[in-house]
Amino acid sequence: MSDGKLTVILADGAFPAGREALDLLENAARIICCDGAARSLVAYGRDPDKIIGDLDSLSDEFKKRFADRIEHVSEQESNDLSKAFNYCCRMNYKNIVILGATGKREDHTLGNLSLLSIYAGKVPSIRIVTDYGCFTVAKKSGRFESFAGMQISIIPLAGPLEVSSRNLKYPMQKLLLKHWYQATLNEALGDSFELDFPAGGELLIYRTFKGK
What pTM does this model have?
0.94
Locate the domains of the chain by residue range: 3-131, 137-208
User: What is the per-residue pLDDT across 116-136, written as a single tens digit (0 to 9) for each?
Assistant: 999 998 999 999 999 999 999
State the pairing for strand pair 133-138/125-129.
antiparallel
Confidence of residue 3 (pLDDT cuts 50, 70, 90): confident
Long-range contacts of 30-33 (CB under 8 A, 24+ apart): 30/5, 30/93, 31/7, 32/7, 32/8, 32/84, 32/87, 32/88, 33/9, 33/84
| Distance, CA of 69 to CA of 169 (rounded, Å) | 48
In this structure, how many other beta carbons lie within 10 angstroms of the beta carbon of residue 16? 24
What integer pLDDT is reported at residue 74 of this predicted model? 78
Report phi then psi at 177, rounded to 5.
-90, 115
- Residue ranges of alpha helices (H) inside the chain are 19-27, 37-44, 60-65, 80-90, 106-120
User: What is the per-residue pLDDT across 178-212, written as a single tens digit (0 to 9) for each?
Assistant: 999 999 999 999 999 999 999 999 999 999 999 88
Confidence of residue 79 (pLDDT cuts 50, 70, 90): confident
Confidence of residue 2 (pLDDT cuts 50, 70, 90): low
What integer pLDDT is reported at residue 53 of this predicted model? 87
The predicted model gives 86-102 an average pLDDT of: 96
User: Does residue 77 register a pLDDT over 80?
Assistant: no
Q: Please give the CATH number for the structural domain made up of 137-208.
A: 2.60.120.320
User: Does residue 65 register a pLDDT over 80?
Assistant: yes
The predicted model gives 143-158 an average pLDDT of: 97
On whether the CB atoms of residues 188 and 108 are closer than 8 A, the answer is no
Please state, for a pLDDT cut of 90, what percent of the chain lies above it.
Answer: 83
User: What CATH class is the domain 3-131?
Assistant: alpha beta
Least confident interval from 16-20, 53-57, 126-130, 164-168? 53-57
| Distance, CA of 8 to CA of 99 (rounded, Å) | 7
